Structure 1
Amino acid sequence: MTSRNLIDERALLSQFQSGDEMAFDRIFTMFHSSLVFFADRLLLKIGKEISKDLVLDIFLKLYDRREGFETLSNIKAFLYISVRNSCIKAIEKEKVNQKRFDLYTKNFDEFEKNVLDNIVQNEVYEELYQAIDLLPEPYRLIMGRLVTGDTPKEISEELGIPVSTINTQKSRALLLLKKSLSGAGIALLIIYS
């Protein structure tokens, strides 16, 4: 390297270290294109926009650490190593995203079926609960407890009435509910019969 180039490099480095924007622009212009090309080659299928964003992030890191560089060669080494490391992280992130996507698409039909089943089930339960709310008080109390999983014996013990009374009121409540529910609601009601 000639002494003139060495003086220019020292001046540029000194200006850069002091935060001079024009010096930063010169360094950016010197390395930006080749770094984007380098990142593109490493990232292959991920995309050019990611390469550009990644390189811009590295330049921001360079600017934040500008006082620690002694030569342009140190800056160049930092830039290339940082781009390489960022590309490796981006590739790993892409692999994780691809695994998630593959798992999602593999299970999509099952997932979609589960979602639809849950929606239908919730709507049927809502219809059943609304119909139970319209029952006369003793029937509403007993059916509400049965739907939440209590047994006639448990209800009998808690309310202090015979199990036969619970079963009789349950039967009457079921007759009233069958008149007000849709086919799906009746099917759910059969489960609690």
Structure 2
Amino acid sequence: MSKLDSSQEQYLLSAIKQDNEEAFSLIFQSYYVDLVLFGGNFIKNEQVCEDIVQSIFLKLWNERKNIQIETSLKSFLLRSVRNSCLDEFRHLEVVRQYEENYKDSVLDCYDTENYILYSDLHDHLHNALQQIPDLYREAFELNRFEGLKYREIAEKLNVSERTVEVRVSKTLELLRKQLKDFFILLLSIGIP
């Protein structure tokens, strides 16, 4: 892999612990290409392998003051690449599995014949609100669409907070009945 022997590795490791960038550069130049090629045994994507090796060297530099290498530097770097590649491989497998499951659930979930557009829901909600008595609708709209708290609505309408709470609850109850076919979508806009 490299022409560095164990005494050279020890010398260079001691030097990088003293912030010697030239020593680090020599380690990098000695091992980089071989480590990328080694990573290719696990992951067949050169860019990913390069990223992994660069991350390992970055970690080596960042942790240079405290790093303890019990084996040779070469063995340490090879083990680091192997472990990182296996972690990446497992990560890619999880991502692939998630994408597969997500794709299946999205395809199952979005029946194009029965898909309800947000604008359709908005129209149904607007029509349903028009059928609710003004006192109830006003308190509901101030709370849900303008974001006012019950106390603020009570002050604005010159009623008690309890009255506002009752009006909003009654409106929700009426909307649930009128829009029962849209229940899941209503949850997404905060109408339980």
Which TM-score band applies after superposition, normalised by the shorter structure? 0.5 to 0.7
Q: Does 1:122 align with 2:134?
A: no
Could you list the per-position Cα deviations for residues 128-167 of structure 1 after superposition, in whole angstroms to 9, with x for gaps in the alignment?
A: 234325x7779x99x95544449xxxxxxxxxxxxxxxxx
Q: Does structure 2 retain, via aligned residues, the 8 Å contact 1:69–1:75?
A: no
Conserved? CA contact 1:40–1:48, under 8 Å = yes
The answer to whether 1:64 aligns with 2:62 is yes
Following superposition, the deviation at residue 82 of structure 1 comes to 0.6
Tell me the amino acid that sits aligned with residue 105 of structure 1: K
Are the counterparts in 2 of residues 39 and 51 from structure 1 also a CA contact under 8 Å?
yes
Q: Residue 78 of structure 1 corresponds to which residue in structure 2?
A: 76
Between the aligned partners of 2:115 and 2:103, the Cα distance in structure 1 is: 17
How many residues align? The count is: 143
| TM-score (normalizing by structure 1) | 0.58
Partners in 1 of 2:106 and 2:6 — Cα distance? 62
Moved over 6 A (4+): 135-138
Q: Which residue of 1 aligns with 2:38?
A: 38
Contact 1:58 1:82 in 2 (8 A): yes
1:1-193 aligned within 5 A: 11-44=11-44, 47-67=45-65, 68=67, 74-113=72-111, 116-117=115-116, 119=118, 122-132=121-131, 144=171, 146-149=174-177
Residue 70 (structure 1) shift: 6.8
**1:128/1:11 Cα in 2 relative to 1: closer, same or farther (>3 Å)?**
same
Following the alignment from structure 1 to structure 2, what is the Cα–Cα distance between the partners of residues 15 and 66? 10
**1:13, 1:70 within 8 Å by CA — same for their partners in 2?**
no
Structure 2 gaps of 5+ residues are 139-166, 183-192
Once residues 175 and 86 of structure 2 are traced to their aligned partners in structure 1, the CA distance between those partners, rounded to angstroms, is 55
Quote the sequence identity (%). Answer: 22
1:103 Cα deviation from its structure 2 partner: 0.8
Q: Would you tell me which structure has more helix in proportion to its own residues?
A: 1
Q: How far does the alpha carbon of each residue in 1:65-105 deviate from its partner, in whole angstroms, 9 at most, with x for none?
A: 4354579x621111110110011110111111011111122
Q: 1:6 to 1:107 in 2, by over 3 A?
A: closer
Bigger Rg over Cα: 1
How big is the alpha-carbon RMSD for the aligned residues of Structure 1 and Structure 2? 3.8
